Chain A
């Protein structure tokens, strides 16, 4: 059963009047709208959704990182219902899919966005409310470079510790020596020569 997003939004606005919340419409056929939560109230919103008995969102199923180099692209996929000013620069986004196991409601889609993609890449961790975010937030930190404030053990998970970049970013450039061939030819030879002459 899909959650009644306007009703949940109204409840949240009563319970947490200081939190900035925006209803984002999904233009596609899936009908899964989402709720943009300002990062400073993300923990409180999750706690409220988890603790309120009538909502009972006890399962944080999926946590996804997204890189949006162009804010206009993000606004096309998740369209703000109320008029909001579009972001000035690209940002990283974390999407949470919440379910209620007892009430069989879901997915409730929450989104949180960083300020930019370079320096201000912080988002508060929700591990204190939902333990299931632990490995998934590590993965987003590893592959996207989002820094989760308050995560108990934030380190790389899939890439090795010495790795420097974040490979899931849209502007990631793979190193040109990844493909070793004993006898390189054609495109690989060209690439290899470029690499070894520099």
Chain B
């Protein structure tokens, strides 16, 4: 094939000829995509020139399904959003309905909710460390340590809710059942033993030369850009923004507990990893206080309606600090037994808004790390 006269006579070749780029479809079936997620990456050598995420492989239109069933019927479905953290999903939804209908929650139920939510944060952040190291090539070992601890917490959840993961535990106005006998004591034992595991985990990873070389100064963005991009949760705090909904807009009874908000300095993948490790310690502190103060009383409001529940006409947006970021539910009631509109504000999806910006100019291997540091679950991304 001969070159056209125009091309042959042009003085300089364009720097990035579209034909010279390598287009890689990363995913959807690949362990590093944390489920079924795909990135269409264009590479110049090893360098990322463009990255377009492709969503929807796990889409089942949860929101449409929820509009066709009663309010309570959606509760078990929220377990399947971020399936690592079903109890925080339950809480976010219950809280939105309580706001919509003006339902009170008894004190003991608030304590149970905080205890289960912070245990969920322990699960999420330890699992995150395991998955993140897996993304880096330490496939298996760190994850096995993390899952060993996770399983202990899941045992507690199984005793409390009847299921390890698909808990379906919160109700509008409280919780489904009370803590079983001895549960709080077993949770206390777990909370007291957990720091030893954390020391072990930190010892395993923090000083590791490979980890430092691969994660430092990778994927950082200015904090203004992150806020503008809707990034919330540990991702945002790693960049040094003190924004945690537990402090900014305390829900439940978080204002009764003393805990700190760890902040990063650079906002790179290293900071994102460390923020999670530090948040684990703070969660343990909340757990200790909550288990110490746990009052007796009702676990659900005596007037809470399970059957024929119809909130008054109106709307409500409520959000919680889920382990992955701001998890919000926006509900509109037209006075009937089914929500007119049921919207989930998924932290996993919105934290991916700036994925391309974080990856441009870096190597392909860094993309896997950056995606890992966002901490997504596809059940929540695609809904």
Interface size of A as a range: 35 or more
- The reply on B147 being an interface residue by CB < 8 A is no
Given A29-B100, A30-B100, A132-B350: A104 and B313 interface contact (C-beta under 8 Å): no
Q: Which of B59, B241, B315 contacts A78 (CB 8 A)?
A: B315
- The reply on A188 being an interface residue by CB < 8 A is no
- The reply on B230 being an interface residue by CB < 8 A is yes
- The reply on B194 being an interface residue by CB < 8 A is no
* B contact residues around A194 at 8 Å (CB): none
Contact check, B334 vs A168: say whether CB atoms are below 8 A apart: no
Contact check, B350 vs A28: say whether CB atoms are below 8 A apart: no
Contact check, B249 vs A104: say whether CB atoms are below 8 A apart: yes
* B contact residues around A29 at 8 Å (CB): 99-102, 312, 314
* B contact residues around A59 at 8 Å (CB): 227-228, 230, 232
Contact check, A130 vs B228: say whether CB atoms are below 8 A apart: yes
Given A30-B100, A64-B341, A64-B343: A104 and B328 interface contact (C-beta under 8 Å): no
Contact check, A167 vs B61: say whether CB atoms are below 8 A apart: yes
- The reply on B64 being an interface residue by CB < 8 A is yes
- The reply on A60 being an interface residue by CB < 8 A is yes
- Among residues of A, the one whose C-beta sits closest to the C-beta of B316 is A30
- The reply on A20 being an interface residue by CB < 8 A is no
Given A66-B341, A101-B227: A28 and B311 interface contact (C-beta under 8 Å): yes
Contact check, B352 vs A135: say whether CB atoms are below 8 A apart: yes
- The reply on A131 being an interface residue by CB < 8 A is yes
Residue pairs across A and B with CB atoms within 8 Å: the count is 125
Given A73-B340, A131-B229: A61 and B314 interface contact (C-beta under 8 Å): no
Contact check, A97 vs B56: say whether CB atoms are below 8 A apart: no
B349-380 vs A, CB cutoff 8 Å, 1 = contact: the mask equals 11011100000000000000000000000000
Once bound together, how far apart are the Cα atoms of A30 and B314, in whole Å? 8
- The reply on B46 being an interface residue by CB < 8 A is no
Within B98-126, the residues touching A (CB, 8 Å) are 99-102
- The reply on A109 being an interface residue by CB < 8 A is yes
Contact check, B317 vs A32: say whether CB atoms are below 8 A apart: yes
Q: Which of B61, B229, B318, B330 contacts A168 (CB 8 A)?
A: B61
Q: Indicate the member of B227, B230, B382 with the most A CB atoms within 10 Å.
A: B230
Contact check, B227 vs A159: say whether CB atoms are below 8 A apart: no
B62-86 vs A, CB cutoff 8 Å, 1 = contact: the mask equals 0110000000000000000000000
Q: Which of B99, B241, B313 contacts A77 (CB 8 A)?
A: B313
Given A28-B311, A28-B314, A61-B328: A136 and B350 interface contact (C-beta under 8 Å): yes
- The reply on A90 being an interface residue by CB < 8 A is no
Contact check, B312 vs A27: say whether CB atoms are below 8 A apart: yes
- Among residues of B, the one whose C-beta sits closest to the C-beta of A102 is B243
- The reply on B13 being an interface residue by CB < 8 A is no
Within A160-188, the residues touching B (CB, 8 Å) are 160, 167-168, 172
Contact check, B99 vs A97: say whether CB atoms are below 8 A apart: no
Contact check, B227 vs A58: say whether CB atoms are below 8 A apart: yes
Within B156-185, the residues touching A (CB, 8 Å) are none
- The reply on A120 being an interface residue by CB < 8 A is no
B361 CB to nearest A CB, Å: 19
A119 CB to nearest B CB, Å: 23
Contact check, A76 vs B334: say whether CB atoms are below 8 A apart: yes
* A contact residues around B248 at 8 Å (CB): 101, 104
- The reply on B345 being an interface residue by CB < 8 A is yes
Within A59-73, the residues touching B (CB, 8 Å) are 59-62, 64, 66, 73
Once bound together, how far apart are the Cα atoms of A157 and B382, in whole Å? 9
Given A64-B341, A97-B328, A101-B243: A135 and B353 interface contact (C-beta under 8 Å): yes
B117-161 vs A, CB cutoff 8 Å, 1 = contact: the mask equals 000000000000000000000000000000000000000000000
* B contact residues around A157 at 8 Å (CB): 55-56
Other 20 A-B pairs with CB < 8 A, given A60-B230, A62-B330, A64-B343: A26-B314, A27-B314, A29-B101, A30-B315, A30-B316, A59-B232, A61-B326, A62-B328, A66-B341, A73-B340, A76-B313, A77-B315, A77-B340, A101-B248, A132-B231, A132-B353, A134-B353, A135-B352, A158-B61, A167-B64
Q: List 26 A-B contacts (CB under 8 A).
A: A28-B311, A28-B313, A28-B315, A30-B314, A58-B224, A58-B227, A58-B228, A59-B230, A61-B326, A61-B328, A62-B317, A62-B343, A76-B313, A77-B340, A95-B330, A101-B227, A104-B249, A131-B225, A131-B229, A132-B353, A133-B230, A135-B55, A135-B353, A158-B56, A159-B56, A167-B61
